[in-house]
Amino acid sequence: MMTPQFWSIPPSDLTPEKLADKAVTLQKRLSEIVERFSDVRFATSLAAEDMVITDAIVKAKANIQFFTLATGRLHQETIDMTKTTEDHYGITIIKAYPEESDVQAFIAKYGMNGFYDGEEPKKACCGARKIKPLNTALLGADAWLTGQRREQSTTRTELNHEELDDARGITKFNPLFDWTESDVWAYIKNENVPIHPLHLKGYPSIGCEPCTRQVKKGEDIRAGRWWWLQSDSKECGLHVNQ
Ligand code: SF4
CB 183 within 8 A of CB 12: yes
Ligand 1 centre and the CA of 127: distance in Å? 9
The answer as to whether 224 is a domain residue is: no
CB of 234 within 6 A of ligand 1: the answer is: no
The answer as to whether 11 is a domain residue is: no
The answer as to whether 221 is a domain residue is: no
Q: What is the CATH number of the domain that holds 38?
A: 3.40.50.620
- Clarify whether 236 is annotated catalytic: yes
Pocket mutation for ligand 1, best pick of 106, 122, 235 (most atoms within 8 Å of C-beta): 122
The answer as to whether 2 is a domain residue is: no
CB of 75 within 6 A of ligand 1: the answer is: no
The answer as to whether 101 is a domain residue is: yes
Residue 50: predicted pLDDT: 98
- State whether residue 66 is helix, strand or coil: strand
Residue 233: predicted pLDDT: 56
Distance CA 235, CA 122 (A): 10
The answer as to whether 62 is a domain residue is: yes
Residue 220: predicted pLDDT: 87
- CA nearest ligand 1 atom 1, residue: 208
CB of 125 within 6 A of ligand 1: the answer is: yes
The answer as to whether 223 is a domain residue is: no
Given the DSSP bridges, would you call strands 170-173 and 162-165 parallel, antiparallel or unpaired? antiparallel
Given the DSSP bridges, would you call strands 143-145 and 64-69 parallel, antiparallel or unpaired? unpaired
Residue 234: predicted pLDDT: 61
- CA nearest ligand 1 atom 2, residue: 211
CB of 222 within 6 A of ligand 1: the answer is: no
Ligand 1 centre and the CA of 118: distance in Å? 12
Distance CA 182, CA 173 (A): 21
Residue 13: predicted pLDDT: 81
Count structural domains, the chain.
1
Give the residues of the chain that fall short of pLDDT 50: 241-242
Ligand 1 centre and the CA of 125: distance in Å? 6
Residue 242: predicted pLDDT: 39
Residue 67's beta-bridge partner residues?
43, 94
Element (H, E) at 41: strand 40-43
The answer as to whether 51 is a domain residue is: yes
Distance CA 164, CA 196 (A): 30
Range of the domain at 124: 16-201
CB 129 within 8 A of CB 107: no
CB of 129 within 6 A of ligand 1: the answer is: yes
CB of 225 within 6 A of ligand 1: the answer is: no
Ligand 1 centre and the CA of 14: distance in Å? 35
